[in-house]
Structure formats: C-alpha cells, structure tokens
C-alpha cells in the first residue's frame, strides 16, 4: 500500500477508483455512494447536503491518519488537518467563479468568449456551479428576465454565444508548469431547459486538427493559474478555439482519459503534488467513449448491475429510486477509432438499458 487517502465531495467514484488502482487505501465522503464506490473504498460516508461534509470528514478521520486529502466538486473550500493533494482552497475559489475565470483569460490574452451584457444571443451562466447546470441561451431580454425570475438570487454573467464542438484538455500541473495528458471531446445533454448544457460524457482522444493547439493553450493557462495536480480546461472548438473554463480539480473525463492513454491519473496527480510532471504528453492507444444515462421518468433500479462492471460505472444499488432527469449509470465503449468506440458504446447502452428499463 502506498498510503491512505481521503476523498470528499459531491461525486468521488472516479477518483476513488483511480486512487485504488494506484495502490492506495481509500476512504470517501460522497453524495451517491454507488455500488462501485463502496467496492473500492475501505470505508465511506454518505451526505445529502454539503454542510454535512465537515462533521462526516471528522468522523471518518477519527482514530486514523491519512497521507493525502483530495477534494472533488463541492469540497474545494473544506479545510482539514491532512496534507492536501491538489489545488489550494484559495486558488480553487478563484477558478470556481466564472467571472474570475473570464478576467483571468482576459488578463493573459487567452482566447475566450467575450462578456456581452445586453447583447443577444448570449449564453447565461451562473457565476458558481459545475457541470453546465443552469447554463442557458438567451435570445432576447425576455429570455434573460425568465432566467432571472427562475433563479432570482443567483449571480450570473453573459457571454457571446460561440458555435462549435465542446471539448476539454486534461492537464497535470505542479503550480508553475503543466503537461497536457489528453484532449477530449465532451458530450452535452442537449434538449431544452436547465440541463441542456450539462456534462453527459466524453470521448478520448479528441482527434481534431486543432487538438495540439488546444493542448498548448491549456498548458499555458494552467501553468499561469497556480493550480496543482489534475486540472482541466474546457473549450469550444469552431472556426477557432475559445477557452471556456478552468476546472481546478479532477474532471469527469478521468475514466476515458485513463482508458485511452493507459495512464493512472491519480498517480500523476500525486507525483505533481511532489513536483514531478510527466516528461511528455502521453499518446493514446485506443479511443474510449463514456455516456451517462439519465432517467426519462421516475424509476426504481431493481437489477444488480455488478455483473456489468466491465462496461459501466456509477452503478446504483438494487432498489435505488431515481427521479426523472437524474443520472442512472455511466456506460463505456472502446475501439481503435472514434467510430468503433461509439459503435461499441451504443451496443453496451442497449445492453444496460435492458437491466434498468
């Protein structure tokens, strides 16, 4: 065993799994506590509201020593008496504010959509929040008023609407330098409403003529940010590149990055915290696609999905009730190119749906 790690946040399964594969004994405080998280964590605690985190962390730490603390979404501001593996809470706070991200991009001449209050069409984004939740396109002042009425106490910013493919770069950084380990295509939920721009999967690598340029921009941005460990930069890829956000924590693309590159991202993350970066950008040996399946109605998952662990993750326990619109399970497909990986993904989705329908 390399050491003992505590991972805390809204969703930790991907980090817990990577840390276990890296040889660590892992403990988790998580909102979902899906079956595969409970399999990989030596012990876990589940929370409903983020304000429960400090007490549950103290509870799981009682009588134990830990080598590292890792914060995922929602836990970035938590302080614990354990060495932090990753970006500090102070730097994280800056890059959890989309207005501050915008200012950072402008200060460093990194191409990004312009802020454009009062000009339409525009993308409305809450200043705080992850995963594209509540992002919406406003085509008129009436659309903006509708958004404000729905979220009356939520600060927001408006950016020019940029057409293109959503993508991201996964970097490893030591606070001063950064190395891109993968360029990813991102899958968004689509449709209408507050979930349309929500993250719903990824394909790694993103084989695009601008991929190398994207990696270079991301490396520069992350190196300037002061972030440490696993850090992501989101882009929209159209006629040119526009950087959208910096994510100062492990990203939802971790699974496809590891499967495509053969790299253990948690191991690289800890190495970076110790000042060691990859010598070069790793290549990809295959393409991996992940899709998150969402409930099209209120449902109860009765089936035991443990036998499908080779093709899915975030597996709910039998008897789990899931509301319409919420995530059910993640499904994977792998192949030698994007077409092959997506074909396998489609077959696996069909297979998994027979268990949860």
Query: Are the beta carbons of 343 and 289 closer than 8 angstroms?
Result: no
Distance CA 331, CA 178 (A): 30
pLDDT at site 191:
81
Which residues of the chain form CATH 3.30.470.20?
165-356
pLDDT at site 129:
85
Residue-wise pLDDT tens digits, 240-256: 999 999 999 999 999 99
Residue-wise pLDDT tens digits, 79-114: 999 999 999 999 999 999 999 999 999 999 999 999
Looking at residues 10-19, what average pLDDT do you find?
98
The DSSP symbol for 113 reads: P
Distance CA 277, CA 228 (A): 11
Which residues of the chain form CATH 3.30.1490.20?
107-160
Neighbours of 279 (CB within 10 A): 7
3-class state of residue 297 by DSSP:
coil
Which residues of the chain form CATH 3.40.50.20?
4-85
| Angle value at C-alpha 112, between 119 and 154, nearest 5 degrees | 60
The domain at 165-356 falls in which architecture? 2-Layer Sandwich (3.30)
Token pair listed for 234: 């989101």
pLDDT at site 294:
95
User: Is pLDDT above 90 for 356?
Assistant: no
Closest alpha carbon to 222 in 105, 351, 314, 317: 105
Distance CA 242, CA 257 (A): 22
The domain at 107-160 falls in which architecture? 2-Layer Sandwich (3.30)
Cross-strand bridge partners of residue 7 = 28, 70
Residue-wise pLDDT tens digits, 161-217: 999 999 999 999 999 999 999 999 999 998 877 788 999 999 999 999 999 999 999
Confidence of residue 130 (pLDDT cuts 50, 70, 90): confident
Residue-wise pLDDT tens digits, 285-305: 999 999 999 999 999 999 999
| Overall CATH class of domain 4-85 | alpha beta
């Amino acid at each position: 065993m390399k050491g003992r790690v505590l991972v805390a946040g809204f969703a930790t399964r991907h980090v817990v799994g990577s840390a276990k594969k890296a040889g660590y004994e892992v403990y988790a405080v998580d909102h979902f506590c899906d079956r595969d998280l409970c399999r990989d964590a030596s012990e876990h605690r589940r929370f409903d509201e983020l304000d429960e985190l400090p007490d549950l962390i103290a509870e799981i730490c009682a009588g134990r020593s830990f080598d590292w603390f890792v914060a995922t979404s929602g836990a970035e501001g938590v302080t614990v008496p354990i060495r932090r593996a990753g970006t500090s809470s102070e730097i994280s706070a800056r890059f959890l504010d989309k207005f501050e991200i915008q200012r950072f991009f402008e200060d460093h001449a990194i191409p990004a959509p312009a802020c454009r209050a009062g000009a339409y069409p525009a993308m409305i984004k809450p200043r705080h929040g992850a995963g594209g939740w509540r992002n919406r396109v406003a085509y008129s002042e009436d659309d903006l008023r509708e958004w404000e009425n729905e979220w009356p106490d939520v600060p927001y910013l408006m950016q020019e609407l940029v057409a293109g493919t959503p993508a991201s770069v996964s970097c490893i950084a030591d606070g001063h330098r950064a190395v891109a380990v993968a360029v990813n295509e991102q899958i968004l939920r689509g449709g209408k409403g507050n979930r349309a721009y929500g993250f719903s999967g990824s394909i790694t690598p993103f084989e695009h003529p601008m991929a190398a340029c994207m990696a270079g921009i991301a490396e520069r941005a992350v190196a300037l940010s002061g972030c440490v460990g696993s850090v992501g930069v989101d882009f929209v890829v159209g006629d040119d590149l526009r950087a959208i956000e910096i994510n100062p924590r492990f990203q939802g693309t971790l699974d496809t990055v590891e499967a495509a590159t053969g790299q253990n991202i948690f191991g690289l993350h800890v190495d970076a915290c110790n000042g060691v970066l990859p010598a070069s950008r790793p290549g990809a040996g295959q393409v991996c696609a992940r899709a998150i399946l969402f409930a099209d109605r209120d449902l109860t998952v009765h089936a035991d999905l443990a036998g499908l662990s080779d093709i899915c993750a975030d597996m709910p326990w039998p008897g789990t009730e899931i509301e319409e619109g919420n995530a059910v399970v993640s499904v994977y497909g792998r192949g030698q190119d994007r077409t092959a990986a997506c074909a396998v993904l489609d077959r696996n989705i069909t297979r998994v749906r027979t268990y949860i329908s």
